[in-house]
Structure 1
């Protein structure tokens, strides 16, 4: 495997309030990685820093052999990063189909790109609701749509911020199964979520953040053998 994302010692602040203090981690191509930690510890700010939505003060970010911390957000997205944001942010006045085709692209230049047909196969419910407006969907359906919309850009890296937040157990399991299928197809994924026990079987490696600093990193096997780590820093 080769490194697809490298975050080196980044520091980020909102005005005079510093949030990140030297965050370091890497993601290998084809890997599923996580950022873990309680709310307010810097996970979303780390994602925003990677995307240049919140400019970093120090450190560097490299993606697919490009230094991207000096680039604008739209340029970073076109290099092949797609985000399923916290809160989903789908377009309420577009249909399910229109939400997905609005930004469709083949950014990773794959020979087997994600299409509407493939996304519908992954999420049959979206095909059933194809002509419904975004604001007519349940929370779970909106999350499926947000994932499908991201996949339609055919990204090198898929980032999910609070992947199953607020979803019912049944829908949550459907999302986990979807991510498992994506992993089998070689999709590189970064997941932020609080369900550590479920992530242990899905992810290859984990980075735990506490108050803007990396306090632990390692494999799923290592994290499984250290439940005190996730009880202490994630609290579930």
Structure 2
């Protein structure tokens, strides 16, 4: 199976401060991958580099076989990359329904595209709250809305930055259920989160970074058998 995303030895800096040092990984189509590490180790910068929000200094990034590391963020998005950002960043003065339809598109030309009805079926709570403003939602509802909004673009690749950060346990379970359903549907996904045990159950492959450098990569069984990696680099 071919890689939908290939990151090759990228280096990224903020001004004179270099953050990433030769990070490499790839994600196969239809697979779920993770990017793991403690806070401040370069995970979000890696995602921003993929999205075209931070220009890389060196290396290359390919998406569906096309080099994208010199494209703008809107060009990358139109190619079919969607982000559920840390902090959700939904539109507070738009209703749930308006948030969902604001950027609706069929970027991967799916024969079964994501529609309002499909998103509501995945997250019934959003249908119940369809006419509520974004700022009237709980944190968990906002995360459901952020995921639903990303799915409405019908992306080839869905990225979740801090997928369950700050959510109550019951809401986290709802998000894990949703992500498992998406995996069963064949949605290619990259997840940043700290709940390693749940990610081992959900994901196919894992990449661990420490201080902007790749320190470990492997599949779920290899990570399950390496608890020292959890403690040393992820803080679990």
TM over 0.5: yes
1:104-139 per-position Cα deviation (integer Å, ceiling 9, x unaligned)? 000000100000000000000000000000000000
**2-structure distance, mates of 1:53, 1:103:** 19
Matches within 5 A, 1:85-100: 85-100=85-100
Q: For each residue in 1:2-49, what CA deviation from the matched residue of structure 2 results, as whole angstroms up to 9, or x when unmatched? A: 110000000000000000000000000000000000000000000000
Structure 1 segment 40-189 matched on structure 2, within 5 A: 40-189=40-189
Q: How far apart are residue 65 of structure 1 and its match? A: 1.1
Q: Which runs of 5+ in 2 are unaligned?
A: none
Normalized against structure 1, the TM-score is what? 1.00
Please state whether the residue corresponding to 1:92 is helix, strand or coil.
Answer: coil
- Secondary structure, aligned partner of 2:12: strand
Q: 2:195 matched to 1:195?
A: yes
Q: What is the rounded CA distance, in whole Å, between the counterparts of 2:42 and 2:235 in structure 1?
A: 16
Distance 1:170 1:116 in 2: 24
Distance 1:148 1:9 in 2: 32
- Alpha-carbon displacement from aligned partner over 1:37-90 (angstroms, at most 9, x marks no partner): 000000000000011101100000000111000111100000000000000000
- 1:210 counterpart = 2:210: yes
Report what 1:15 is aligned to. 15
Partner of 1:234: 234
Q: Aligned with 2:82: secondary structure?
A: strand
In structure 2, C-alpha distance between the alignment counterparts of 1:231 and 1:147, rounded to whole Å: 29
In structure 1, distance between residues paired with 2:62 and 2:14: 22
Partner of 1:29: 29
Quote the RMSD (CA, aligned, Å): 0.4
TM-superposed CA distance for 1:211, in Å, is 0.2
Once the 2 structures are TM-superposed, how far is the Cα of residue 166 of structure 1 from its aligned partner? 0.2
Length-normalised TM-score, structure 2: 1.00
Q: Which runs of 4+ in 1 moved over 2 A?
A: none
2:70 and 2:46 mapped to 1: Cα distance? 15
Q: Distance in 2 between matches of 1:40 and 1:15?
A: 17
Q: Mark the runs of 5 or more structure 1 residues left unpaired by the alignment.
A: none
Alpha-carbon distance in 1 for matches of 2:31, 2:227: 22
